[in-house]
Structure 1
């Protein structure tokens, strides 16, 4: 990989909320790299699409693009859409408006955030800020999830791994999870012991519609403790991007 001809494409979902994109952009600005970095969005942006991001890098003479999907889970159907658009996979079972992008450059694909060690450190900090007496508390992880069976399995496997990792760090009475797809959040909370304090932690990248509206509405009338803090803003997101980039470059040198 010729470093002078290598660039980075950060791919995020996008949002109609300007603060959502601002959090992404601030995190990317803090990434320590001399390589050119372009942010693209899957939705809500006509100026910063994936295709335009590739075109921008190619116009600057880039021949190899390290693509880093800034997504919580490999269980997101959007991951398959993006891989299809980038030519990483030849076809996808997911319905998508994306099409394979014509490009002259090579794509180096990185995986989403999942339960990477840096991500678990970040999540643990969020948990610690919520918890007062873990032996008498139940931790509820809230994720987007998926109604597609194969992607649902990936979400479930990730959430199980995250719960196991957190159980080694915090002596909670119980750690459970709920998803918006399928919609089991309210029923999950309703089954929890009444004598315990329920802590709710959203596994979402940025504060926005889901954390401001959807989750509170699903839990309306139930007793729980919640701060609504998401992965961003947090410096470990920038550290994770750096880690993914360094790993991609190291693998290429082998």
Structure 2
């Protein structure tokens, strides 16, 4: 048995986005003999998922593939289609154009972020600088969401629990969440600021900065009262802790 790690994230045409993921992967503290490949669902040519599989199997001789899905919610349709294409599940819950990958190694599929307390600490680290009077504040955690039934419920369960973890860590009065799909961001912000009289700390739940953190969220909040750091999860050293814990948990199951 020779295990290897395949870390999968969405991908972006923005080289800085890709570089943030790569920087986190290079800082992982793993056994020297354990090869790691960072791959992307789309856009990043030469670094797609099949490229990562081929590298680990053909060049590194990997027999057991530890797959870490670097996505913030199990409600992402991408988790569903990737798991299907890797042979982890017999069929996707939602129709996909993603063809099954060529993979010979045994696949051990990890978990996305959801409500992991480590991620909650990362979220609070990103917004604590804009907190001033915690008894008057509400953390409003904002995620992409999904309009698809079933997937939306996964999003809601994970992000609501994560928001509560952030509230406990930061000691603020309240926590809530909003999704961009279906859009509830402006309505939630207006409720907390105008009806409840709270200071709203808007926290984006996105892996890396880009269109959603820089354009979509501020655009939907135009004219409303809120505070916003605009910082995505990366860069942050605790993401490495989250990835490593998943890897070692799976490794332990392989050696039982």
Give the TM-score normalised by structure 1: 0.94
Measured in 1, the distance between the counterparts of 2:230 and 2:224 equals: 16
Q: CA deviation at 1:104?
A: 1.5
> Cα RMSD over matched residues?
1.3
CA 1:218–1:193 in structure 2 vs 1: closer, same or farther (change >3 Å)?
Answer: closer
Aligned counterpart, 2:106:
106
Kindly state the Cα deviation for residue 196 of structure 1 after the two structures are TM-superposed.
Answer: 2.6
> Following TM superposition, by how much is the alpha carbon of 1:129 offset from its aligned partner in structure 2, in angstroms?
2.6
Counterpart of 1:199 in structure 2 is 201
1:122 aligns with 2:122: yes
Deviation at 1:191, TM superposition (A): 1.6
Is 161-170 or 69-78 further displaced after alignment? Answer: 161-170
Match for residue 43 of structure 1?
42
Distance 2:11 2:95 in 1: 19
Once the two structures are superposed, residues 224-245 of structure 1 have per-residue CA deviations (whole angstroms, 9 ceiling, x without a partner) of 1111111100001111111111
**Runs of 4+ residues deviating >4 angstroms:** none
Which residue in the other structure is 2:91 paired with? 91
Once residues 3 and 255 of structure 2 are traced to their aligned partners in structure 1, the CA distance between those partners, rounded to angstroms, is 13
Residue matched to 1:10: 7
* Structure 1, 190-199 or 80-89: larger mean CA deviation: 190-199
Query: Shift in Å at residue 131 of structure 1?
Result: 1.1
In 1, the alpha carbon distance for the partners of 2:68 and 2:138 equals: 34
Q: Is the 8 A contact 2:146 2:182 kept in 1?
A: yes
Which runs of 5 or more structure 1 residues have no equivalent in the other structure?
Answer: none
Q: Which moved more, 1:15-24 or 1:172-181?
A: 172-181
Pairing 1:27–2:27 present: no
- The secondary structure found in structure 2 opposite 1:192 is helix
Q: Which blocks of at least 5 consecutive residues in structure 2 are unaligned?
A: none
